[in-house]
């Protein structure tokens, strides 16, 4: 059986998660991507990938190109899958074309398009967030703006890029102009600021049944940006909070495969969705989650896309705790010193570090997730011990950026 996997740039989720899982399931894999050479270079460094792994160039954002290329291949697909935010609708339409298990393309579009997500939840009567869309060439005077402070972000953006809190109309105009200069074709969403503690919900579904895997409590950078700095595992959210989030996911049509939902809990206990990422959580958290729960997480996701039901009992552990913390660049420059990848265990706490930027690379200061230099994560039976292990690793190591 052959899995057709749609991807943009190489990611750890695919290289270290889904491709090794496909190999363990005995699947042949064809990767369709618009970054073919980058994928080939990365895969050459790994030995646990499927033996029959093919990388083909493709305009993967266009489902018509995906369908056409797959149709020309000697092996028809057993599944069409993607873990990219940008490619969920393309993968869903291609899978449906071949009569394979597929996410509802309307649900993938609602999740990706932040303005459509707001409209759909409001129409469903579950949550109304005051928001407006600023299209290229449109003026702010034409919009009914939310109250200040408010948040401006690209409608189809990812990784906190160009997401910023603004205090007044003058700052809003300035920020919109900055973003549109960098993204002249982008439509922006301007929406009310949803205050509250930020959490995630991680779910896994086979199209008939959905399992809740827990979630994370997220610490963000100081405003006006929204960089995710620390995530600590939450085995179970309060029932009243969980029910609110699941009802909104039901209204959006989320069901098949992995989903990573970000939401805030306000002082009155109201849960309000920030965004829905209809794929596995990233930045090494999915790899950590598989070890934390001690389940074949990536295999379960792929089996769901092959049309196989989830097992009656996942057997996920709920007694372990975890922390995922990133080291961020605080300025532009060349990374001249940083620790190498590390795996170790001390006093029952397993700790891993993965560099996310190569030594010698020069980068601007993005004030987004692209400032990540590396990620440290630890798993153990006690939250305090896990937190201490991560803090100790960061304190004992050194990252240096030179101008």
CATH number for position 83: 3.40.50.20
pLDDT tier, 369 (very low <50, low <70, confident <90, very high otherwise) = confident
Look at residue 171 and tell me whether its pLDDT is greater than 80.
yes
Rounded Cα gap, residues 203 and 279, in angstroms = 9
Closest CA to 293 of 230, 210, 203: 203
Least confident residue range of 70-74, 159-163, 192-196: 159-163
Q: Among all chains, which residue has been given the structure tokens 């869309």? A: 133
| Position 125 in a domain | no
Q: What is the pLDDT of residues 76-116, one digit of tens each?
A: 999 999 999 999 999 999 999 999 999 999 999 999 999 99
Q: Which burial class, exposed, middle or buried, applies to 177 when counting CB atoms under 10 A from its CB (0-12, 13-18, 19+)?
A: exposed
Any domain includes 254: yes
On whether both 143 and 284 belong to a single domain, the answer is no
Q: Give the chain as a 3 state SS string.
A: CEEEEEECCCCHHHHHHHHHHHHHCCCEEEEEECCHHHHHHHHCCCCCCCCCEEEEECCCCCHHHHHHHHHCCCCCCCEEEECCHHHHHHHHHHHHHCCCCCCCHHHHHHHHCHHHHHHHHHHCCCCCCCEEEECCCCCHHHCCCCCCCEEEEECCCCCCCCCEEECCHHHHHHHHHHHHHHCCCCCEEEEECCCCEEEEEEEEEECCCEEEEEEEEEEECCCCCCCEEEEEEECCCCHHHHHHHHHHHHHHCCCEEEEEEEEEECCCCCEEEEEEECCCCCCCHHHHHHHHHCCCHHHHHHHHHCCCCCCCCCCCCCCCEEEEEEEECCCCEEEEECCCCEEEEECCEEEEEEECCCCCCEECCCCCHHHEEEEEEEEECCHHHHHHHHHHHHHHCCCEEEC
Residues 184 and 201 in one domain: no
Looking only at the bridges linking them, the beta strands covering 28-33 and 53-57 are: parallel
What's the pLDDT tens digit per position in 214-228?
A: 999 999 999 999 999
Q: Which two tokens stand for residue 300?
A: 């379960």
Tell me whether residue 337 is in a domain. yes
219 within some domain: yes
Angle, alpha carbons 68-70-73 (nearest 5°): 115
Q: Are the C-beta atoms of 317 and 361 separated by less than 8 Å?
A: no
CATH number of the domain residue 180 falls in: 3.30.1490.20
Q: Specify whether 357 is located in the same domain as 335.
A: yes
- The verdict on 71 and 158 lying in the same domain is no
Instruction: Indicate the number of domains in the chain.
Output: 3
Among 344, 336, 355, 321, which Cα is nearest to 392's?
344
Average pLDDT over residues 248-257: 97
Whether 334 has a pLDDT exceeding 90, the answer reads yes
On the question of pLDDT at 201 being above 80, the answer is: yes
Q: Are residues 257 and 164 in the same domain?
A: no
pLDDT band at 161 (very low <50, low <70, confident <90, very high): confident
Give the confidence band of 403 by pLDDT, cuts at 50, 70, 90. confident
- What is the extent of the structural domain holding 173? 130-192
Res 373 pLDDT > 90: yes
Beta-strand pair 333-337/400-402: antiparallel
pLDDT of residue 22 exceeding 90, the answer is yes
Q: Are residues 245 and 390 in the same domain?
A: yes
Q: What is the mean pLDDT of the chain?
A: 96
Backbone φ and ψ for 127, nearest 5 degrees, come out as -165, 135
Q: Is residue 213 part of a domain?
A: yes
- Which CATH number characterizes residue 344's domain? 3.30.470.20
Q: Does any domain span residue 110?
A: no
Residue 119 lies in a domain: no
Does residue 159 have a pLDDT over 80? no
Cβ neighbours of 71 (radius 10 Å): 12
- pLDDT value at residue 160: 82
Question: Do residues 373 and 323 lie in contact, with contact meaning Cβ atoms separated by under 8 Å?
Answer: no
366: confidence class by pLDDT, cuts 50, 70, 90: confident
Does 226 lie in the same domain as 185? no
Same domain, 288 and 387: yes
Q: Are 238 and 271 in contact (CB under 8 A)?
A: no
- Residue 346 belongs to a domain: yes
Q: Which two tokens stand for residue 162?
A: 């160009």
Is the pLDDT at 353 greater than 90, yes or no?
yes
């Amino acid at each position: 059986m052959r899995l057709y996997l749609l991807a943009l740039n190489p990611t750890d989720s695919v290289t270290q998660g889904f491709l090794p899982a496909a190999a363990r399931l005995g699947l042949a894999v064809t990767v369709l991507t618009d970054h073919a050479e980058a994928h080939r270079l990365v895969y050459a460094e790994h030995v646990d990938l499927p033996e029959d792994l093919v990388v083909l160039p493709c305009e993967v954002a266009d489902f018509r190109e995906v369908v056409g290329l797959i149709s020309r291949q000697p092996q028809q697909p057993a599944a069409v899958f993607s873990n990219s935010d940008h490619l969920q609708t393309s993968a869903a339409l291609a899978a449906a074309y071949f009569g394979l298990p597929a996410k509802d393309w309307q649900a993938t579009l609602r999740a990706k398009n932040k303005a459509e997500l707001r409209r759909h939840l409001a129409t469903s009567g579950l949550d109304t967030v005051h928001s407006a869309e600023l299209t290229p060439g449109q003026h702010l005077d034409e919009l009914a703006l939310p109250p200040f402070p408010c948040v401006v972000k690209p409608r189809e953006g990812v990784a906190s890029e160009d997401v910023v809190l603004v205090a007044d109309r003058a700052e809003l105009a300035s920020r919109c102009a900055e973003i549109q200069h960098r993204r002249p074709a982008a439509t922006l969403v301007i929406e009310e600021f949803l205050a509250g503690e930020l959490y995630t919900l991680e779910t896994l579904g086979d199209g008939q049944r959905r399992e809740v895997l827990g979630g994370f409590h997220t610490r963000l950078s100081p405003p006006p940006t929204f960089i995710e700095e620390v995530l600590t595992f939450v085995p179970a959210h309060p029932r009243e909070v969980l029910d609110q989030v699941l009802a909104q996911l039901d209204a959006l049509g989320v069901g098949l495969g992995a989903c990573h939902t970000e939401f805030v809990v306000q002082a009155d206990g109201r849960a309000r969705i920030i965004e829905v990422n209809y794929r596995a959580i990233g930045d090494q958290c999915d790899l950590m989650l598989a070890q934390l729960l001690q389940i074949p997480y990536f295999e379960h996701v792929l089996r769901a896309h092959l049309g196989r039901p989830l097992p009656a009992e996942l057997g996920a552990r709920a007694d372990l705790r975890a922390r995922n913390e990133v080291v961020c660049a605080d300025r532009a420059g060349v990374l001249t010193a940083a620790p190498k990848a590390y795996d170790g265990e001390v006093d029952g706490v397993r700790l891993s570090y993965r560099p996310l930027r190569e030594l010698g690379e020069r980068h601007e200061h993005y004030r987004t997730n692209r400032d990540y230099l590396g990620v440290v994560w630890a798993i153990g039976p006690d939250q305090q011990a896990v937190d201490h292990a991560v803090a100790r690793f960061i304190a004992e190591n050194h990252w240096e950026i030179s101008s």
